[in-house]
Structure 1
């Protein structure tokens, strides 16, 4: 019965070579994540509070942070063929720690799912009407849920349609609005809203996609090589940040508002509905997809019950749609700032363990040769949890430097030091039930 709800998509097992995709297929989805309506909204937020060149620098620094994180954790994903929350079991966190990561990712991405649905609902009310905002949020959320139920294959085809449509429509929007202004004056004009500092702007950029960067293995486990991961990351993040982000900055200077709906409607009118839909579907399906993977891992670890990804996706899709209807968008900026310091330590620890400390690397490689996952994993790694907490607090409260970089570097360095001192030790050991299953999960 569960299989009729959707596909499991290797939620708790390795993705076999036969199920991998070309780099272009995955790259379109990565680009779709970054060049989404949320990036437009982020650019508008920067443009409302920063000059053009200050926003450009913030986007540059933020993009570098995201690319470094995404490439390193993405390489782990393509090599091991496992989701982020599953990999965490053998990259420093243990079973309980990975369950906690799965829960944190699940909750955060339900929030992102709600934010994206709310953005779409606002635009649909302004451009179409007919239904109240909360109803549009529910409708949009349920449509995206239906796409994600069918897994990676369905999401790839969605990207082939929505990404080109969004880029064409955004190009039209930019051209229509900027034709009314002197671009040179917009570049040199002062922002219309309260000023944002470079630190605040960079943190917003990094925080705006840091969850997407940390959960990169959810996507790159479907890649075929390390080179594919590097190519799609550089192309997707760089082009997405600059093209869509800077467009949002210029339009915010032109329209003198950070309201994305006002920007869209002022430039292309009713066609803006297509911009909103195309620009939100592609990132929102990945929010829901990775949230489902995280919750499946959490349930399997904590309750010892293997839930079907399709069933979990359906449940959290409805929950996220309800959150959108409840107005989660109001907390958008603060939400980004918090994420900007809470998630980088996860990537810092995973990279430090996999590439340098290598406490459990041998177990992963041995199991990989058999196409399985290690038969067991440590229950807890106390040093890791302490490092995660310390790094997140440093990122949140230390004012010097960039918060996202601070938290990531502190986590990386502390874990390497702890590993060299022999402090990275697992407490207890839990059996990995799916290691006994030699047959791949039906897609």
Structure 2
């Protein structure tokens, strides 16, 4: 295994995963759900969504703890070495660049609003551009900046959220929350797509963090106690604050907590911290997709951040809901194929696992069909004049699972028949 001495406790893994949930994206999910759902429905949807995410996470994470390898290596069996690197890297690049744009946009709106408080009018696209550029430059300098920011940003965000909650749950605001009725209505499945989409990538690549876990039960405990309480708490905070401050703009919510300056700084630091990870991961993904040499890593991180910054300037935040829906259709089918192979076909026997050279066409085909079919309702929803289909965020993972399972069985039977006829 080669991981002796590197083992991590379930508690330390749980803390890493909980830390990933304590972020602006989780608050944005609560904010997006509550504008079209009642508070009880928002809490039910987010609980069900995170339970689904956690199930995928546990199955993915356990494969890595069994084999002591990260996700991209384990996926080398079902997609082939080249296929796995390409597919996972493309998904990672799209998700990281999209998230970078969303967060730089949040940061830009916060910065513009903050400056407006002091009679300085800066257009939001320009503020988003400045925010993105600062984030890109600091990402190129990598881990040192990230460490410092993590120690400051996460505790600061937690404190501000708690203060906001206390403000929201006292006095007249409490009645507002109890009486709240949304103006528009979102279906349960659409809400589920937003929740799953917000952490689908984290679930599929869970093995990158759990590969050093000693036993499967560690992965199980870390996912249950790390993701669900932190995730639901952050969605609830996002939802409750949105009602209490009577605005669907998450930055306006934060500027109402304590003072505009303190709330704004909390938002800026939190988006900055997460975007360093997005730029670094996005850069590494681009290196893998385009086969760039490792020496050009800083350049790749710079390009990833620059693309994300452009998305922020054009206002990607306005498309948060469809972007989450698309991520919820593209990413889970990867797990569908991997789960079919490891858990069902190979009956969780790690000795039967091996990486395949090149591209495993069956795996790539299974993923692609699942992802395309699942994304049809989302694409149609962008064109209201076309006939609409209900969003089914889990259909992709099921289709990919089924195609891979039966495709594999048929190919094995063919091989047996060929052997017998020789």
TM-score exceeds 0.5: yes
Is contact 2:18-2:227 (8 Å) kept? yes
Is contact 1:177-1:267 (8 Å) kept? no
The answer to whether structure 1 residue 290 and structure 2 residue 281 are counterparts is yes
Alignment partner for residue 373 of structure 2, among 390, 394, 406?
394
- 1:248-281 deviation per Cα after TM superposition (whole angstroms, max 9, x unaligned): 1122222232100111112332211232034324
Distance 1:95 1:79, change over 3 A: same
Q: Shift of the alpha carbon at 1:311? A: 5.2
Residue 346 of structure 1 aligns with which residue? 334
The answer to whether structure 1 residue 142 and structure 2 residue 121 are counterparts is no
Alpha-carbon distance in structure 2 between the residues aligned to 1:61 and 1:143: 38
The answer to whether structure 1 residue 233 and structure 2 residue 242 are counterparts is no
Q: Shift of the alpha carbon at 1:65? A: 1.3
Alpha-carbon distance in structure 1 between the residues aligned to 2:111 and 2:41: 32
| Equivalences, count | 396
Provide the secondary structure at the position in 2 that maps to 1:232. helix
Superposed CA RMSD: 3.3
The answer to whether structure 1 residue 27 and structure 2 residue 14 are counterparts is yes
The answer to whether structure 1 residue 378 and structure 2 residue 381 are counterparts is no
Residue 396 of structure 2 aligns with which residue? 407
Residue 27 of structure 2 aligns with which residue? 40
- 1:218-272 deviation per Cα after TM superposition (whole angstroms, max 9, x unaligned): 3333545433322322223212221110121122222232100111112332211
Residue 177 of structure 1 aligns with which residue? 168
> What does 1:212-361 correspond to in 2, within 5 Å?
212-268=202-258, 269-300=260-291, 309=297, 312-358=300-346
- 1:254-311 deviation per Cα after TM superposition (whole angstroms, max 9, x unaligned): 22321001111123322112320343244334333433443333344xx7x5566555
Alpha-carbon distance in structure 1 between the residues aligned to 2:413 and 2:308: 37
Alpha-carbon distance in structure 2 between the residues aligned to 1:311 and 1:357: 42
Residue 77 of structure 2 aligns with which residue? 90
Q: TM-score, normalised by structure 1?
A: 0.78
Deviates more, 1:35-44 or 1:210-219: 210-219
Is contact 1:20-1:222 (8 Å) kept? yes
Q: Shift of the alpha carbon at 1:46? A: 1.0
Alpha-carbon distance in structure 1 between the residues aligned to 2:413 and 2:191: 35
The answer to whether structure 1 residue 165 and structure 2 residue 137 are counterparts is no
Residue 55 of structure 1 aligns with which residue? 42
- 1:165-187 deviation per Cα after TM superposition (whole angstroms, max 9, x unaligned): 21111101221233243535513
Alpha-carbon distance in structure 2 between the residues aligned to 1:307 and 1:26: 30
Distance 1:160 1:126, change over 3 A: same
Alpha-carbon distance in structure 1 between the residues aligned to 2:71 and 2:281: 9
Alignment gaps of 5+ in structure 1: 1-13, 366-373, 427-443
> What does 1:100-179 correspond to in 2, within 5 Å?
100-128=87-115, 132-142=126-136, 145-146=139-140, 149-150=142-143, 158-179=149-170
Q: TM-score, normalised by structure 2?
A: 0.82
Distance 1:237 1:401, change over 3 A: farther
Distance 1:410 1:401, change over 3 A: farther
Distance 1:266 1:165, change over 3 A: closer
Alpha-carbon distance in structure 2 between the residues aligned to 1:337 and 1:195: 17
Q: Shift of the alpha carbon at 1:349? A: 0.7
Alpha-carbon distance in structure 2 between the residues aligned to 1:235 and 1:285: 26
Provide the secondary structure at the position in 2 that maps to 1:393. helix
Is contact 1:383-1:424 (8 Å) kept? no
Alignment gaps of 5+ in structure 2: 378-387, 416-422
Residue 6 of structure 1 aligns with which residue? none
